[in-house]
Structure 1
């Protein structure tokens, strides 16, 4: 009797897990996330809040209750093992942020409610692959970041020594030079806003700034892009384990075909 009860409980939890992972529930949750995102955006407008707050605030609370119910059902289906999934843990943290009281020392954290919108990432397999590819690219970016930091530091020291006396607002200190060079790396008015005024005082300043822009912007940023693209391609390729499993399945299929042909040949040879 006890074994029968355990089997029925396991079957019930299995059916619940299949339902929660089903396409209908996923679509419902996706729709609620989109509606909640729109509500959170509308709540940032005081005129809209004064006119429609009586409707938007209860809707936000109802959708939040739906998110709690969804997570509760997932825990009922999988138990505490659900937290072993990083995406499920992320969902729990994002939804739990809504429990922070509106007043008190942690009230500022309620601004993180909008992170609920990011549940679209955890619920969409394609988006999850993109995020996983970005995380996988972080180790490859380490050496690039170190090299770029060296370039920034060397260029900032040189710019401070060369142009700091006449242009202290841009290059008067090491930190000011670092910020100015970072702005130039983004190509934000680097020529008309910074370099041309400096060239009126130092006509040969282009000998410093043009190589810097070429190295920092066109070379280093392209290296970042190359690492990310490579990680994206690797994320869409099958893993070595999947390739090995596919090879084993193909070998088994080949053996079955060979056995079938041998059996057919033996049948033909029988009188």
Structure 2
């Protein structure tokens, strides 16, 4: 008779098995390929095969979620993890037969989001995403400062260049779009040479704007993300060291208990 403890131990072993993890990653990639295949005109027979494969993938995801839930020592904390909640919602919605109903679009969108399960499966991707989320508050101030620079330059551009080319500089909103084109280096020299024909020194307007946005602010964003990523790695190393220390301490306690029991038996 298999006990609950044995089921949990087997679930933990399966969850931590590298082959099983790679199998789930491969199925996620297959799911993404099937989503792409549905966008092409394909024969009805192939469509039926894709539908059956999609059902199989959904049930495999359900099995994987159940394994992770059983392997969790504290079941109440399983849904405290946002990724576990996301994975469960995606799988549950995928199980609902809504392909031939008014909610078919929702079902297709949910299947698209199944590709994001790659992030919840691979720890390195989770670390990258967590670092990006943690960097958002700091990035917000950089984005705000960038918007101020954009707005100032757009106002100047609309004031001086509107008569030269109303399509690019007609008002401040259009000027903002033009400056975004300049910042991404999309044929920005054509825009610059057009205004230089009237204002020969207007090159300084574009070069200073590119320096502030494409160089200075971009490096600031990269620096913030890298700094947060290093903090995240340091945090993971500290947690791992703490877990290893706890495991070593538990082993020492077990050995002490065994020695005590042995001494007691010898005295008897």
TM-score category of the 2 structures, normalised to the smaller one = 0.7 to 0.9
Aligned to 1:86: 82
Match of 1:200 among 197, 209, 215: 197
TM-score normalised over the length of structure 1: 0.78
Match of 2:176 among 175, 178, 182: 178
The alpha-carbon distance between structure 1 residues 88 and 21, as it changes in their structure 2 partners (threshold 3 A), is farther
Once the 2 structures are TM-superposed, how far is the Cα of residue 232 of structure 1 from its aligned partner? 2.0
Deviates more, 1:31-40 or 1:70-79: 70-79
Aligned to 1:255: none
Once the 2 structures are TM-superposed, how far is the Cα of residue 244 of structure 1 from its aligned partner? 8.7
The answer as to 2:207 corresponding to 1:213 is: no
Contact 1:43 1:49 in 2 (8 A): no
RMSD between aligned residues: 2.9
The alpha-carbon distance between structure 1 residues 183 and 11, as it changes in their structure 2 partners (threshold 3 A), is same
The alpha-carbon distance between structure 1 residues 240 and 115, as it changes in their structure 2 partners (threshold 3 A), is closer
Aligned to 1:41: 36
Unaligned stretches of 5+ residues in structure 1: 1-7, 253-271
1:211 aligned counterpart, secondary structure: helix
Deviates more, 1:14-23 or 1:234-243: 234-243
- After TM superposition, the structure 1 = structure 2 runs for residues 6-45 of structure 1, keeping only pairs within 5 Å, are 8-45=3-40
Once the 2 structures are TM-superposed, how far is the Cα of residue 105 of structure 1 from its aligned partner? 5.4
Unaligned stretches of 5+ residues in structure 2: 250-268
Query: How many pairs does the alignment contain?
Result: 243
Once the 2 structures are TM-superposed, how far is the Cα of residue 137 of structure 1 from its aligned partner? 1.6
Contact 1:42 1:49 in 2 (8 A): no
Contact 1:37 1:117 in 2 (8 A): yes
Aligned to 2:91: 95
The alpha-carbon distance between structure 1 residues 51 and 172, as it changes in their structure 2 partners (threshold 3 A), is farther
Contact 1:20 1:26 in 2 (8 A): yes
Aligned to 1:74: 68
